[in-house]
Amino acid sequence: MRRVTRLAVCLALLILAAASAAFAQRIWTGGGRFYREPPKWVKASDFDGSFVYCRGFYTSVTREPGGQGWSTDYPGADNNFSVRLAELTRMHVKLNDNRQPNFGVVSLTDPLLFKCPILFMEDVGTAEFSEAEVQALRAYFLKGGFLWVDDYWGSEAWDQWAQQIARVLSPVEFPIIDLPLDHPIMHTLYDVKEYLQVPSIQFWYSNSGSTSERGYDSAQPHYRGIQDAQGRLMVFMTHNTDVADTWEREGENHEYFNLFSPRGYAIGVNAVLYAMTH
């Protein structure tokens, strides 16, 4: 049995166990509601060698349908992925006083950014960086940092993001590449054998299971990256897909879970383990 299939079985068993026992860490579900929570900013005390899900804060200069800027899928994706990472690997995940994962939001100019081995950002097709953020991100990457951007759809969102990341990492020196399916990030722990396209659960509900949120303009999911001179990925880009919704919404619909969540967690676990070991 393939490892991703075993992951699906493992997740199903964890859900069954949670129904009959009080797990210390709880899976968050938004119940389909849209609301904003203020950012829970990271603190120096959050970093003790344990894994902390760091979400990057940025300013949006435009709006995308279904997106909420920096807070897209927050805080559900952050919490749920951290819970599953602790259950599926030997990674020691930082917990707060009530035994929930201690995820946090970090300003791109905060020196604590350099404590984050991996930085997550969503809806980045709406972002515009200040010059100070550009300089801070460049230093972060060149000191060994890793960024994963997800959940931005269509050519306009791609063009906006490509323009912003080009200010940080010159495409002459650091070109964007399409990642082949045999790239190590696709096989760090689980064997990911396809470029998964995930729609938001709301889009999936209202469009009879369609996965392309912008129609023909987002029909093809793109898994791209930017490498340093040694071939280490610094930026992982999943475009025309919403991998983080497989984490945030895992408890809301069994069919959606079965279709997307095991494969979404496989990609996420692989990315974190790649970032922590490269």
Q: Are 199 and 207 in contact (CB under 8 A)?
A: yes
pLDDT number for residue 3: 66
Q: Residues 30-80: pLDDT tens digits?
A: 654 445 789 999 999 999 999 999 999 999 999 999 899 999 999 999 999
pLDDT of residue 27: 87
Tokens 């997800």 found at = 150
Q: Which domains does the chain have, with CATH numbers?
A: 3-277 (3.40.50.12140)
**Which tokens in the block code for residue 167?**
């200010």
CA 89 – CA 274 distance, rounded (Å)? 13
pLDDT value of residue 222: 98
- Within the chain, residue ranges assigned H as helices are 3-20, 76-88, 131-142, 154-168, 201-206, 245-248, 254-277
Amino acid 191: pLDDT: 97
Instruction: Check: pTM over 0.75? Answer yes or no.
Output: yes
User: pLDDT tens, position by position, for the chain (278 residues)?
Assistant: 566 666 665 665 555 444 333 445 788 776 544 457 899 999 999 999 999 999 999 999 999 998 999 999 999 999 999 999 999 999 999 999 888 999 999 999 999 999 998 999 999 999 999 999 999 999 999 999 999 999 999 999 999 999 999 999 999 999 999 999 999 999 999 999 999 999 999 999 999 999 999 999 999 999 999 999 999 999 999 999 999 999 999 999 999 999 999 999 999 999 999 999 99
pLDDT at res. 21: 39
Taking only the tens place, the pLDDT of each residue in 98-122 is 889 999 999 999 999 999 989 999 9
Separation of alpha carbons 43 and 38, rounded Å: 15
Residue 33 has a pLDDT of 47
Residue with tokens 């759809």: 153
Which token pair is 164?
A: 């912003």
